[in-house]
Amino acid sequence: MTSPMQTLSEHRCFGGVQRFLSHDAHEIGLPMRFSVFLPPQAEHGKVPALLYLAGLTCTEETFMIKAGAQRLAAELGIALIAPDTSPRGARIPGEGDSWDFGLAAGFYLDATQPPWASHYRMESWLLHELLPLVGDAFPVDLTRLGIFGHSMGGHGALTLALRHPGMFKSVSAFAPICAPSECPWGHKAFTGYLGPDRAEWLQHDASALMRGQAAAPYPQGILVDQGLADSFLEVQLLPHRLEAACAAIGQPLTLRRHAGYDHGYYFISTFMADHMAHHHRQLAG
């Protein structure tokens, strides 16, 4: 069941339309915001789409404002969908105390621990509510859907792609949290949202999920870009864990390490065209 959408703002952009929207999310129990860019090709029929998941402290606006993706999406004929990064207005005590847990830090999973379990249901909202809502309301072909993201959102893109085989045709990430069960950000989020059982943590850990695959889930390849001047690289991101997991099962992975690039949107915008082309090749097929 989905609720009607409210358009918060609408902007002409590279011949297409950029919209910011909200709806009453049943899975979350609160209004949720998201953004959609429709390329000009959507005026003539359904287009493939990319779901982008943003990182810690971000909103549904961050990617659309900073990434420089709309020009590329307009050229390639791809819709862009970007959700908010957590519920807002749950009024859970302490949810705004930390920048890496609670508000703007939903980690794209369904919390099982109180008090978070009642509203922090990001995975179910995205897959069972938001995507069907967008598919019904806009000329978007959900059979040609890719997923990508940055940092916490890169974690979300990789894990959702592995947890829901067949839903996404392509996947990539910028500086993803590759092994959250082994880093401080993941320890904090998983303990709070999922509790102390590490077996539950591994169900939301991209490297662990990849190791558990019987065969390469994305034989056309996964693209990951990582800046070597990223202050979070050594402690939080751990891309070598994903690299080893992919190698172990024969999953093609292009992991590019870039000297001098940090964790922010200057880095993301630099390599956005490569990611859009990566998804276009797979979604066009």
Q: Which one of the listed residues 119, 150, 204, 263 is annotated catalytic?
A: 263
Containing H/E element for 103?
Answer: none
**Alpha helices (H) in 118-264, listed in sequence order:** 122-124, 131-137, 152-163, 184-194, 198-202, 206-211, 239-249
For residue 106, give every residue at least 6 positions away whose Cβ sits within 8 Å of its Cβ, in sequence order, or none: 85, 86, 87, 120, 122
Any catalytic annotation for residue 3? no
Q: Which one of the listed residues 35, 84, 119, 151 is annotated catalytic?
A: 151
Do 79 and 42 meet the contact criterion of CB atoms below 8 Å apart? yes
Decide: residue 108, CB within 10 A, 0-12 exposed, 13-18 middle, 19+ buried: buried
Report the 10 Å Cβ neighbour count for 130: 23
Any catalytic annotation for residue 263? yes
Per-residue 3-state assignment (H helix, E strand, C coil) for 176-206: CCCCHHHCHHHHHHHHHHHCCCHHHHHCCCH
Any catalytic annotation for residue 230? yes
Containing H/E element for 139?
Answer: none
The single-letter DSSP state of residue 125 is I
Do 63 and 161 meet the contact criterion of CB atoms below 8 Å apart? no
Q: Which one of the listed residues 110, 205, 225, 230 is annotated catalytic?
A: 230
The catalytic site residues sit at: 151, 230, 263
